[in-house]
Every structure is written in structure tokens, then in C-alpha cells.
Amino acid sequence: MFGRKKETPGQGNGSDEHGLSLSYARTLSWLSLLVVLLTSLGLSFFISNQARQTLMERQEGFALLLAQNLNNQIFQRFAVPTILTYGHIALRQEQQYERLDSVVRSVIEGLPVARLRVYDFSRVVAYSTDAKEIGRKGLAPLNIGPAFQGELLKPEIIARVKVWQVPLLWPLEPGSYRLRVLYPLRGDAYSTGSSPVLGVLELTQDITADYVQVLIFQAAIVVMCLLSSVIMFTLLLIIIHRAERVLKWRMQKNIQLEKELQSTERLVSMGRVVASIAHEIRNPLGIIRSTAELLQRRAASSSDKGTTRLLQAIYDESLRLSQTVNDFLDYARPRQPRQDPVDLELVINQILAFVEGDFARDHIVIEKHFQGPLWVLGDKDLLYRALYNVFVNGRQAMKNEGTLDIRASVREEKAVIAVTDSGPGFDPDIIDKLFEPFFTTKEAGTGLGLPIVRSIIESHGGSVRLMNPESGGARVEVILPLAPQQPIVENGSGTGAGNADAESPAAQGGRDEHSAA
Ligand code: ADP
């Protein structure tokens, strides 16, 4: 019934879950790193390719323009004058060749043109910047055909070196990368496309330097992307490492908390069992006590001293036991305090009226210092019980002589009851343990007096402090919040000991002492 085992979150497979989420986070991070790396590599290739394309387009545009210009110059400055002078064009004639050569060279002067050839319809080299090639066949590129039909072909790059070989063959020889344009030569100045094709112009430019620049740019982008990826990778690794450490620490903390929770739950259910047993014991114990008292009275008249002593022992022990049971139940099942206006001075006077006989018998003088009525909101019976425990502890500490000084005052808008006795004071070695339940140094103590005091005062929003003042003895300070409004005391309601209620809560079953009973 009481041993109900509660399933707590994260219990049992908690560490497995943490471990799983940890490895999940790690896998996810590695995957995202891979994605970042691939994306940045792809992006870098795309950007660098775009740059290369742009540069090549510019080169191609320039080459086509040059080819067109050559077509014009050749037509105007060579073809027309030659036909007018010689009636026909025959480049094998040295004069004609030299005229064409001077026109061509004047156009390409200073430009990065590696070679220039003109092919006739039989694909024989009609003109070349290299005079040795003139009249040779078989030098024309294979794809030259459409150019003879007047088609403008896209310039092409001729690479002697593969891109991956560039770093190995560095620095590259001139002519490693060339741009070739095949341009149909037409018989008009503006190559409008309507005039007939006379031959094909092959223009070869050395673009090695520009091409290498593009390759360097391309490599720089890839290297930069790789570098930034590596930096990001390292940073993420550090973050993952740290997160792992934090998670591990939290996991350990959670496991520890789970263990603590389980043991607290066990204690709580054990406390419930003990409280219900104590509750069951209380009634039969009351019957034993009252029966022993009755038998004691009867035995007193029969002058059987032995029986009277035995009955007295039964009575004393059952009284002590019921005090322990009551204390335990008060502590284990604290009741919710009421919120009535309570005059603390009146409560103290009521307690003193009840205990003054015991104090006088032990030669203990009580000194009261009240600044006036102190009103708090709370439960009069519970407050009576708490202060009564403090007074009784003071009396027990002083043994058979001393002074109990009770001061009630207002400090920082709080009611402060300071109870100082002239006993030995709190033992500094154990003062930290005195609020622990069942901690006692007394032979017949229950160790529940101070825990009950604290539980009652804290349930009123107050606090309790234990200290040893320099003047000697022990001091207990009970601090309670004042009632928001201090009620007006009607004439005659008085706060003196004379008005103390003889039917005090302690007399109604509070934490009695043997002598108070
Ligand atoms: P109990 O009185 O049953 O021992 P308490 O919780 O009231 O239980 O007190 C716990 C312990 O605190 C006592 O056993 C005692 O050692 C110490 N104590 C309490 N009041 C005083 C005091 N006025 N002077 C010295 N020690 C005290």
C-alpha cells in the first residue's frame, strides 16, 4: 500500500537516452560538416568556372574582332590593290606574299598572336606568318570544313598541358594554352556574310599567361573555401567536444539526482508507514495511561506500596511514550496554520501562567521585557506550542537554578521573541544538528522539540535562530512577520498573565513534560 513504486522521468533507461541523444548530436554534426564542406567546394568550383568562362568569352570576343579586322584589312589593303595591279591573286609570287605579310603584320603588331594562316579551298596553306608553311597541305584542322561554308565556328582552346599537370610543370612554357579561331575570309570590307568565302583564316593566340592567371584564381578560391571549411570544422569539433563534456556532466548529475529522489521516496513512504503505526498506538496508549492512573488511586488506599510503584512506572512510561508519539505525529503530519490575529504577548503570558509552578520549583526566575502587544497573523495553538517548547528547553538546560529572559520587540518590521536562558548554552559542535529530527542529548528526549518549533514558525512565514550570546547561556530567536494591521485592543481584553487561559493548548495534549503533567 505504502510501498508504491513511482516511475520517475529518466529512471532506468535515462542514461541510455542521454547516450543516444549524444551520439545522435555527434552524427548530425559530422553530417552537417560534410554538407558544409561539399557545398563550399561545389560553390568554389562554380564561382571559379564562372570567372574562367567570363575571361574566355572576353578572349574569344577579342579574337573574333581581330579576325574580322584582319579580313577587312586584307580585303582593302591587299586583295583590291593586288587584283587592280596584277589582275589575280597568287601568293606564291614573292611580291604579293610580302604585301599581304606586311598588311597582316601591321595589324597583329604588338598583339599576342602566335600564328596566322590562310587556307584556300583545297586546304593548302596560302599564307602563314611562318613562310616555310606556305603551300603545305595537311596542316588545316579537321573541323575546318564548316568555315569554308561561311559558318562562324566557336573559338577553341588548345591545351598542351592538362590542368592537374600545371603545378608539376611550373613555370609553364609559352604556347601551353592557345586559342584558335577559324574565320571565313570574305570578299568584302565588312564581312557581311553575303559576299563569297575566299578562304579560311586560322588565328592562333597564345593565352598561357591569362589562362594560368585564371587557374591561380580558381585554385585560390578552392583553397580559401577549403581553409574556411577546415576552420569551421575545427570550431564545430571544439563545440561538440565541449557539449559532450557538459552533457556527460549533466548525465552524471541526473543519475545522482535520480538516486537521491529514489531514496527520498523510500524515506517518505517509510515515514507514512511509521506515522500510521504511531497513530494506531496513540489510543491504546491513552487507555493504558488512564487505567494505570485509576489503578494507582485504588492501590493508594490499600497501602500496597509495591503495586503503587509499579503502577507509577507504567503511568510514567506510557506518558513518555505518548509524548514521543504526539511529537512525532506533530512533526510528521503538521497541520496547516490558521490565519487569525494573534497577540504574542498574550500567548507568552498564557504559557508562563501554565509553567510558572515548575519554574518556581526549579528556582528559575522569569524576566519579561515587552514593548507592547505584538500582533501576528497565525494559529494561536501552534504558536503556543512552539514557544512552549522553547521555554521548556530553557528550563531543562538550566537544571535547578537560573534566569529565563524573554524579550519581545519589533525589528525591521518583524516581531522578534528572544528567549535567553542562563544555562551552558548550545554545544557549538552540534548546534548545526539541533534542527534535525530525533537528534537529542537528553536521556528522555525525543529530539523533535526544535524541529517542531522550526516547522511551526516557518509555516507562519517566520524563522528560528539559535545562538550563544556573549553574556552566556543559550538564545533562541523566533522571528515572525507582523500582522499588516495591529488590531485595536479593547479595554479589559488585557494582556497580562492574569488573563491567561488555564485550558492551554499544552494542557490539551501538547508537548508535556513529566512534571507538567
Ligand atoms: P529534546 O528536547 O527532546 O532533546 P529538542 O529538539 O527540543 O529535543 O532539542 C534538541 C537538543 O538541543 C537537546 O537535546 C539539547 O541538546 C539542545 N538544546 C535545546 N535547547 C537547549 C538550550 N536552551 N540550551 C542548550 N541546549 C539546548
What pLDDT, in 10s, does the model give residues 69-122? 998 898 889 988 998 888 888 887 888 888 999 999 999 988 888 899 999 999
Q: What is the mean pLDDT of residues 27-43?
A: 78
One-letter amino acid identity for 469? P
In whole angstroms, give the CA distance from residue 33 to residue 41: 12
- For 277-333, the pLDDT digits (tens) are 888 888 888 899 899 888 888 887 776 778 888 888 999 889 888 888 888 888 877
Asked if 463 contacts 457 with a C-beta cutoff of 8 angstroms, the reply is yes
Q: Are 16 and 251 in contact (CB under 8 A)?
A: no
Query: What's the Cα-to-Cα distance from 94 to each of 79, 82, 117, 153, 185, rounded to whole Å?
Result: 15, 12, 16, 31, 21
Is 478 within 8 Å of 417 (Cβ atoms)? yes
Summary count for the chain: helices (H), strands (E): 9, 12
For residue 423, give the ligand 1 atom closest to its CA: 24
CA of 441 to the centre of ligand 1 (A): 7
Cβ neighbors of 397 (< 8 A, separation 6 or more) are: 421, 423, 424, 474
Whether the bond into 171 is cis, omega within 30 of 0: yes
> Ligand 1 centroid to 327 CA: how many Å?
14
- CA distance linking residue 384 with residue 197, whole number of Å: 125
Amino acid at 505: P
Instruction: Give the residue, out of 434, 452, 478, with the most ligand 1 atoms within 8 A of its beta carbon, to mutate for a pocket test.
Output: 434
Q: Is 449 exposed, middle or buried (0-12, 13-18, 19+ CB in 10 A)?
A: buried
* Average confidence score pLDDT of the chain: 83
Please identify which residue in the block is written with the cell numbers 512525532.
Answer: 328
Exposure string over 160-175, b if 16+ CB within 10 A, otherwise e: ebeeeebeeeeebeee
Choose which residue among 440, 464, 514 to substitute to test ligand 1 binding: the one with the highest number of ligand atoms within 8 A of its C-beta.
Answer: 440
Q: Which atom from ligand 1 is nearest to the alpha carbon of 473?
A: 24
Residue-level pLDDT at 419: 97
Rounded CA separation 208/214 (Å)? 10
Distance 324 CA to ligand 1 centre (A): 15
pTM passes above 0.75: no
| Amino acid making up residue 424 | P
Q: What is the mean pLDDT of residues 395-419?
A: 93
Return the higher-pLDDT residue of 18 and 462: 462
Mutate to test the pocket of ligand 1, among 330, 393, 433, 446 (most ligand atoms within 8 A of CB): 393
What are residue 376's DSSP bridge partners? 342, 482
CA nearest ligand 1 atom 16, residue: 441
Q: b or e along 35-49 (b: 16 or more beta carbons within 10 Å of the residue's beta carbon)?
A: ebbeebeeebeeebe
